[in-house]
Amino acid sequence: MQAFSIAKLILAGFTRHYQLFQKITQQAGQAFAEQDWSLIQKLSKSRISHYDLRVDETINRLKTTLPCTKLNEPLWYQIKQDYMELLSFHPQAELAETFYNSVFCRLFHRRYFNNDFIFVETTLKDAPALPVEAEYRSYFPAVNGLKPTIKEIINHVDFKISFHNLDRDIKLLLKAFIRQAPDTHHKSHMMRFDILQAPFYRNKGAYIIGRVVSKSGVQPFIISVLHHQKGGLYIDALLTNSSQMRVIFGFARAYFMVETHAPSALMRFLNQLMPNKTPAELYNAIGFHKQGKTEFYREFLTHLNNGDDKFTIAPGTPGMVMMVFTLPSFPYVFKVIKDNFSESKPFGRDTVLARYQLVKNHDRVGRMADTIEYSDVVIPKDRIEPALLQQLYKTIAGSMQDEGDMIVIKHLYIERRMTPLNLYLQNADIEQTNYVMNDYGLAIKEMLQANIFPGDMLLKNFGVSKHLRVIFYDYDEVQYLTDMNFRDMPKMDLSDLYSGVDELSAAPQDVFPQQLCTFVLTNPTLRSLFEKAHPELLTAKFWQQAQRDIKNKVVKHIYPYPQTQRFVHLDKIKKERREH
């Protein structure tokens, strides 16, 4: 009876967590309607720390009921069995398993982290899956016609504010769909719309996500909704390209806020639209980053058990703060803070931890890679190349424990592996070089708009993703843009050279944007391309204006899709054609 009571206590802790999490998420719709962008940022940040607070609450309640200094194996074995029974028909069972793991793992030693006591493997694989129909609503144009059905869909999505000109938007939407998906059967009586019931909110945008089912197959789509400058809402773009959809759900973006009663059903619906996305990636994208972490670790263990390649030093210029390695067959890198930093890094381990957490809590605007943080990761020694093992002993001995045929890394970060920008440029042709150097500048500008100063802007600290997006991934020098002091280089004359006065004396937070090319872009070709594409980034005035915008609460929308997809862009092209 004691085991069942404890199982119920842990599940009650999860229920409280989930209800409060959804309550936070529900506020996003009203904040979007009222254009309260600072509240949306606050809500997004609060959800990230929310989970750990609820786990701590549950542990404190548990400690008043049961001594937790030593594991009572028979009791905890039974607690897990009772907990599994409570989850038999639970709509958030997979999240509740992860919550249980978090409670147990904070109480006891990792030697007990096995399937007898925690959910290393989910027990839900053979359980009936929650129907994806729980998360979407179907619409049938055969009943009322195509345009009325689309209007019905949009009206059912409660944005709490009307559209500026919905009839016009629907016409643009239909034209865009016919142009983008010409192979879809377009007769209205021969199709069905499946639409996720809740809109997805992030930053200044809202998204309607669904699919068209017809005799020619299934066509996924995303509809982007924004605020019109003259009041009301408008449809900004239609996305049907799977690559663009994956970027919107990418690992360099802030988590969506979307209400859901059955997260596994929502995840599987999205997975049907984007089959290349893993469950871990999709759980992360919809805000359940702890579940994403659980799913990722299961994927990692499965991959490790099914392969025989060895961990090796990651390609690229070795970092001065992080030891970085990878498993060639697994598309991620593993980063561990070094015991000692280079003299050029005047800070310590705590600063690095804080800066990685800053990025985790921040809007990453599609330009900063998400990190997954783990403790006590066990890796078999025979899966580590000797050169890497030697480097691990040399650089991270304080973060590593040797246990015979295993090593245990006490704390590490895992990120999606990308091609370092400096390596990409070594093999790029002129067209590719032009493209990524322009995108490098855009990446810096977009980070500035989010109040992020990347610090070390060397090309080696940026990667090129498989979608050819330039993404920043080295956070040890990240700071808020508004904390920096941007200065123009002083003009010096001949008398200054002989005076002995150091005109370039600088405080720790001083930055001279003109030096960006001097120290970062030493290659003349790259420098020329950058100067041509982004000359304003070499002036203190541009950075200072970005600071003023942030201080004045000017929140700029960073589009997670190409400008060419926007309906306003298509209108501009049509107008230019008519004029010619």
- 318 marked as binding residue: yes
Say how many residues make up the chain: 580
DSSP-derived 3-state class of residue 136: strand
- 15 marked as binding residue: no
Q: Is 503 exposed, middle or buried (0-12, 13-18, 19+ CB in 10 A)?
A: exposed
Instruction: Please state, in angstroms and rounded to a whole number, the distance separating the CA atoms of residues 79 and 82.
Output: 5
- 335 marked as binding residue: yes
> From the candidates 194, 370, 439, 456, which is the catalytic residue?
370
Residue 329 phi, psi (nearest 5): -85, 0
- 28 marked as binding residue: no
Instruction: Please state, in angstroms and rounded to a whole number, the distance separating the CA atoms of residues 572 and 29.
Output: 31
The two three-digit tokens of residue 271, written as one number: 């997975």
- 319 marked as binding residue: yes
The two three-digit tokens of residue 319, written as one number: 């970092």
Which residues neighbour 42 within 8 Å (Cβ) at sequence distance 6 or greater?
none
Evaluate whether 572 touches 563 at the Cβ level (below 8 Å). Answer: no
Evaluate whether 324 touches 333 at the Cβ level (below 8 Å). Answer: yes
Q: How far is CA 123 from CA 85, 129, 358, in A?
A: 10, 12, 35
Q: How far is CA 486 from CA 126, 434, 506, 514, in A?
A: 59, 27, 11, 10
Helix residue spans in 181-319 (DSSP H) = 242-248, 263-273, 279-285, 289-305
Instruction: Please state, in angstroms and rounded to a whole number, the distance separating the CA atoms of residues 372 and 533.
Output: 34
> Beta 485-486 vs 510-511: how paired, if at all?
parallel
| Among candidate residues 225, 170, 166, 169, the one with its CA nearest the CA of residue 201 | 225
Told to judge if 370 belongs to the known catalytic residues of this protein, a careful annotator would answer yes
For the chain, helix, strand, coil in percent to 5 are 50, 15, 35
- 338 marked as binding residue: no
**Which residues define the annotated binding site?**
314-320, 335
- Residues belonging to the active site: 370
**Which residues define the annotated binding site for ATP?**
314-320, 335
